[in-house]
Amino acid sequence: MNTLYARDEVAIAGIEKLRFFPLEVVSGHGCTLVTPDGRELLDLSATWTASGLGHGHPAVVEAVSRAVRSAPGSGGLSAVHPDSVGLAEDLLKLVPGSGERRVYLGHAGSDANDVALRACRHATGRRTVLAFEHSYHGGVGVAMGVSGVHVDAGAAPDPDAAFLPYPNPFRPSSGDVAADVAACLKLADQHLATGSIACLIVEPILSDGGLVVPPDGFLAELHALCRRHAVPMICDEVKMGLGRPGTLHAFEHDGVVPDIVTFGKVLGGGLPLSAAVGPAHLLDEPAASALLTTAGNPICTAAGRAVLATITAEQLPERAAKVGAVLQDALRAVDAEQVGDVRGRGLAIGLELVDPATGEPDSRFAAQVSYRAWELGAVVYYVGGNVLEITPPLILSEDEAHRAAEIIGAAIADTAAGKVDSEEVARYAGW
């Protein structure tokens, strides 16, 4: 093991590590990461979508450089500055909604979701949060307690959380996806009718739970139920929003307008930045109840404004739709019996790996494929135990899409041929 990784092992706390292979990087450009020895890797994760514009995007570099040179303070807690106010105004223009609305600015999707959840509890006077099994909404506070992924891993669920099954078209629990949708909506309706629900929080695409794309219309039917019972819907767009699914917002696919929308990851262009956009009556009270000293700081908000402007000016949602279709077609052409399913929207793609003999999820094989892909020159992680999560920067080219499919195809073939050291892979726990 080389020096940088060894130094990390003795210096950085394990509590904040999620490692799939000994990845070391010293620089990056576009969709490429560079290792200490000069090896170039095709980045198919975009740092879990946070580097959505790729690495070193000129618009972000210029915005951050300007802000660093003359930063008016270090946060928006007790002062205002042009980029904090400007970013909020930009988001209000880009996110559909009606009436008087506000924007919360934070550091990560975790705090944006936590604030949105707590705001709904305060405004409604109700406690129960309706969430989904295998969901991910954050690693702190209430957001962690309503994240099915954390609960699956043994974390204590929020005592006032209730979890619904997320419909999975590839693996319908009843054997019929339409029946699963109906059962989920019936259960949601029963919960909502009790009058105890503070809000419902949902991912338009279940990301860390296995990159599950719900059936068309599911989000719209869920939204209609929330409206019928006057319960706020929070749409968590932290990982799947802002261009990635081939539309600016993932919820657009079903034509809904959620009450609150949360953002993170790509919004900061690689810097810590998040936001929640919603009605003033939900996000204004109680005053001074979500205080982060450096939230809304000039550097991160300058980056956020540059990211939003670039997504719009460079038509990155349209590009994601086009290049994503190319990449999905190339992945479906991979000739391997271990590929159970290729699914996604735009540049949010899941490739599910299975045991060919049984069709059951093969998490061990997925871990080895991820490791082998790194050896062959690509960074791709797995979620849901056995699903390669392919979320490259939104600037991915068609040539890079074809190269990505070639590397993944070769990694699957090599793993099937026994070319991966299983003991070495086992050192990296992943999820």
- Is 136 noted as a catalytic residue in this protein? yes
318 contacts 343 by C-beta, under 8 angstroms:
no
Secondary structure of residue 98 in the 3-state scheme: coil
Token digits of residue 357: 């003999």
Token digits of residue 158: 């929020």
- The burial of 402, by beta-carbon neighbours within 10 Å (0-12 exposed, 13-18 middle, 19 or more buried), is given as middle
Out of 5, 104, 136, 166, the active site residue is 136
Distance, in Å, from the CA atom of 213 to the CA atom of 215, rounded to the nearest integer, reads 7
374 contacts 20 by C-beta, under 8 angstroms:
yes
Distance, in Å, from the CA atom of 120 to the CA atom of 118, rounded to the nearest integer, reads 5
CA nearest to 215, candidates 203, 201, 205, 207: 205
Matching residue, tokens 């999975």: 168
What torsion, rounded to 10 degrees, do the Cα atoms 286, 251, 134, 223 define? 70
Distance, in Å, from the CA atom of 353 to the CA atom of 362, rounded to the nearest integer, reads 6
| DSSP symbols for 6-75 | HHHHHHS-GGG---SS----SEEEBTEEE-TT--EEEESSTTTTTTTT-BS-HHHHHHHHHHHHT---S-
**Three-class HEC string of 352-393:** EEECCCCCCECHHHHHHHHHHHHHHCEECEEECCCEEEECCC
**Which residues are the active-site residues?**
136
